[in-house]
Structure 1
Amino acid sequence: MTRIDLPRTDVGPCESFGERWTKLAAERSALCLGVAPSSSWLARWDLTDDVRGAAAYCDRILRAATGVAAVKVQVPFFARFGPEGLDLLARFTERCHEHGSLVVMDAKVGDADDTMHAYADLYLGPGSRLGGDAVTANAYMGLRSIHPLAVRAGQVGAAVLVLVRTSNHAAEEVQQASSTDDRTVAQRLADDVAAWNHAQAPDASWGPFGAVVGARLPESADLVARLPRCVVEVPGLGRPDRATAEVLAAVPDGRGDALLTITSGVLRHGPDVGALRTALEAWRERIRP
């Protein structure tokens, strides 16, 4: 196990994100719906490219996705509308919680540690501006820089999902680069995330750090295996360049903490609410063990 010298985090009395997620996934399936009110998706759904169009988009998502365990929100597609867009995102999150769904804020935050308290106030847990249950984070400034965000996550039962390996082609030259011990950058980051969770909560099933692994096989399976006791988001379901079997092969049978995200594979069936609901149910059945 990699040794890591991050400070100890006090874990709050509430259920961890991992505990909440695994219960919901067992009940509703591990499917997570991507939510992306971009200009292109609003146009495809014949909606105006403004906050009113985004609100109509969110309403249809909410009516179709009442039974999903989680949604993953692309924050910039809301933030581009300014304060009204952030208000819409806060309302959308609240309504998802009313349906019992967890909300992952895909913000990819990455900054110096003295700013992370502000990001926590914006994204994580009850009392934050947006009320998310998890947020994605970029560790390019070092894992220690994310520590204040993880402190809040541990206190409120949320999670920080570290971008261990992303699926965009431009990331390969950085994330697959070899470090001094011949591990790739992604492998070393996965090992450090796992070590940090173990150090912070040695007696718990999950720590406040999770991971995003968007690699192809065999790299995806290797990285997921390096992340025990971590909620791991594995995107790629429904993409034309990814077979379902390849995405699922990264997650061993019986591993109940994986979060499987699908976006275009469902959204392309919109804007009809019934068609969206049917597509979600079909994918839930498709990924059941």
Structure 2
Amino acid sequence: MSFGSRARAAMAAYGPACVGIDPHSELLAEWDLPDSVDGLDRFASICVEAFAGQVAFVKPQSAFFERFGAQGVVILERTIQDFRHTGSLVILDVKRGDIGTTAAAYADAYLDEDAPMAADAITVSPYLGFGSLQPFFDVAHKNDAGVFVLALTSNKEGAEVQHAMNGDTSVAGGMLAQLASLNAGETPMGSFGAVVGATIGSSVEDLAINGPLLAPGFGAQGGTADDIRRIFGTVIDNVIPSTSRGVLGEGPDVSSLRGSVARVNSELVGS
């Protein structure tokens, strides 16, 4: 099954919420875990126990694992493998973007099904030009994986690039239009998505890309169900709202974590 098909099935089975797996030092301290490889290992194991086969999507943030060096990357690999094929889809948040053979190597590292760190989908940055992402799309298509392209991010610094005009079209609008072209005719939706922040307030861009829309910033960062409804309107069924602290703040108790994400899904479905 394509990533778009698997994403639609997972959303129908579990609800749309994505849990960000973000083991930053403050969260480890809240869980009474040391800010060390051992603390990271315990954190990741609890997240797998709590969320594998219980939520539609998990989104490990690679940087929070990489900061521990090679041992942290080993834990990230194991965490991805523990989540894969449980019913929960792994969106690895790496925001890679490069050109030529380097982009192809990144794509092979994260999207080739035989790679140690193979995920269901990854995040990428298009700001070396949308065409520079072609190796990611090619490897994703070959492996039934997904790609999420940064389009309208919620950080205030993003506007100077994303809202810049290229003729009559904004940079972000151009990215979205090219994603729509890649996804044209795909059912139930395409596998190439956009990252559109839940805290951007509003958007004049056409978000009907026939693909998944990853919406970070939901929950503790300020995005609400009303924001999701207002920003995404008629394409809300394609939205994957992502929350980290809003759910992980209930840890490390596994039942509390599961209860927290259940409440998030209930709030989103009710929206």
TM-score (ref. length: structure 2): 0.92
Paired position in structure 2 for 1:185: 171
Paired position in structure 1 for 2:73: 86
Q: 1:33-182, aligned counterparts within 5 Å?
A: 33-66=19-52, 67-181=54-168
CA drift at 1:125: 4.0
CA drift at 1:93: 1.1
CA drift at 1:146: 0.8
CA drift at 1:250: 2.6
Q: 2:220 aligns with which of 239, 256, 259?
A: 239
CA drift at 1:253: 5.7
1:167-213 C-alpha deviation (Å, 9 max, x unpaired) = 111112221122221x2211121112212333xxx455444421111
Q: 1:209 aligns with which of 186, 192, 195?
A: 192
1:244–1:255: structure 2 CA closer, same or farther, 3 Å change rule? Answer: closer
Q: Which runs of 5+ in 1 are unaligned?
A: 1-14
CA drift at 1:105: 0.7
Partner Cα separation in structure 1 for residue 55 and residue 34 of structure 2: 26
Determine if contact 2:62/2:92 at 8 Å carries over to the other structure: yes
CA drift at 1:145: 0.7
Paired position in structure 2 for 1:259: 240
Determine if contact 1:32/1:259 at 8 Å carries over to the other structure: yes
Partner Cα separation in structure 2 for residue 240 and residue 21 of structure 1: 24
Partner Cα separation in structure 2 for residue 158 and residue 98 of structure 1: 13
Paired position in structure 1 for 2:267: 286
Give the length in aligned residue pairs.
Answer: 268
CA drift at 1:216: 2.0
- In percent, how many aligned pairs have the same letter? 33
Q: Which runs of 5+ in 2 are unaligned?
A: none
CA drift at 1:18: 0.6
Paired position in structure 2 for 1:24: 10
Determine if contact 1:22/1:256 at 8 Å carries over to the other structure: no
TM-score (ref. length: structure 1): 0.87
1:114-165 C-alpha deviation (Å, 9 max, x unpaired) = 2122112211142123010101000011111110111010011111100001
Helix, strand or coil: the match of 2:161?
helix
Partner Cα separation in structure 1 for residue 98 and residue 130 of structure 2: 10
1:191-245 C-alpha deviation (Å, 9 max, x unpaired) = 12212333xxx455444421111152321xx44x433311111122213533321
Q: 1:269 aligns with which of 250, 253, 259?
A: 250
Partner Cα separation in structure 2 for residue 242 and residue 231 of structure 1: 18
Helix, strand or coil: the match of 1:164?
strand
Determine if contact 1:34/1:71 at 8 Å carries over to the other structure: yes
Paired amino acid for 1:40: E
1:274–1:208: structure 2 CA closer, same or farther, 3 Å change rule? Answer: closer
CA drift at 1:80: 1.7
CA drift at 1:254: 7.2
CA drift at 1:98: 4.5
Paired amino acid for 1:19: S
CA drift at 1:82: 2.0
